[in-house]
Amino acid sequence: MKKTNRTLLSAVVSGAIAATIACSAQATTDGQVKLGILADMGGTYADICGSGCVIAAEMAIEDFGGNVLGKPIEMVSADSQLKPDVASAIARKWVEDEGVDAIGGLVSSAVSGAVSKVNADSKNITLISGSASNTFTTKTCSPYNVHWTYNVVALANGTVKPMVQAGKKKWFFITADYSFGHALEGMASKVINENGGEVLGNVRAPLGTTDFSSYILQAQASGADVVALANAGNDTVNALKAAAEFGLTEQMDVAGLLVFTPNAQAMDPATAGGMRLTSGFYWDMDDETRQWSKRFEQRHGAIPSMIHAGVYSVTMHYLNAVKAAGTDDTDTVMKTMKATKPNDFFARNATLRPDGRMVHDMLYVEIKKKDERKDKNDIYKIIKVIPGDEAYSPMLPQCNFS
Residues 6+ apart with CB under 8 A from 17: none
In whole angstroms, the minimum distance from the beta carbon of 43 to other proteins comes to 5
Site string for other proteins, 170-199 (x = CB under 8 A): -------xxx--------------------
* Interface with other proteins, residue 12, by CB under 8 A: yes
**Cβ–Cβ contacts within 10 Å for residue 11, how many?**
10
Residues 6+ apart with CB under 8 A from 385: 361, 362, 363, 364
Q: Which H, E and C letters describe 33-78, residue by residue?
A: CEEEEEECCCCCCHHHHCHHHHHHHHHHHHHHCCEECCEECEEEEE
State which residue, 109 or 278, has the beta carbon closest to other proteins. 109
DSSP 8-state class, residue 303: P
Distance CA 379, CA 264 (A): 7
* Interface with other proteins, residue 105, by CB under 8 A: no
In whole angstroms, the minimum distance from the beta carbon of 81 to other proteins comes to 9
Site string for other proteins, 249-288 (x = CB under 8 A): -----------------x----------------------
State which residue, 216 or 303, has the beta carbon closest to other proteins. 216
* Interface with other proteins, residue 381, by CB under 8 A: no
Q: Report which of 298, 295, 305, 297 is spatially closest to residue 234, judged by C-alpha positions.
A: 305
State which residue, 14 or 402, has the beta carbon closest to other proteins. 14
Residues 6+ apart with CB under 8 A from 189: 171, 173, 199
The beta-strand segments (E) located in 231-361 are 253-256, 276-279, 351-352, 358-359
Under a CB-based contact definition with an 8 Å cutoff, are residues 253 and 228 in contact?
no
State which residue, 261 or 336, has the beta carbon closest to other proteins. 261
DSSP 8-state class, residue 107: B
Q: Report which of 280, 321, 337 is spatially closest to residue 158, judged by C-alpha positions.
A: 280
Counting residues that bind other proteins (by CB under 8 A) gives 63
* Interface with other proteins, residue 78, by CB under 8 A: yes
* Interface with other proteins, residue 88, by CB under 8 A: yes
Instruction: Select the span of 245-253, 305-313, 360-368, 379-387 touching other proteins (CB under 8 A).
Output: 245-253
The pairs formed by 337-341 with CB atoms below 8 angstroms and a separation of 24 or more are 337/146, 338/402
**Which 3 state secondary structure label does DSSP give 79?**
strand
Contacts of other proteins in 47-66 (CB under 8 A): 47, 50
* Interface with other proteins, residue 19, by CB under 8 A: yes
State which residue, 140 or 343, has the beta carbon closest to other proteins. 140
DSSP 8-state class, residue 362: E
Q: Residue from 86, 200, 302, 324 that binds other proteins (CB under 8 A)?
A: 86
* Interface with other proteins, residue 92, by CB under 8 A: yes
Residues contributing to the site for other proteins (CB under 8 A)? 9, 12-13, 16-17, 19-21, 24-25, 41-47, 50, 76, 78-79, 83-86, 88-90, 92-93, 96-97, 109-110, 113-114, 117-118, 121, 177-179, 203, 206-208, 210-211, 213-214, 217-218, 220-221, 223, 233-234, 238, 241, 245-247, 266
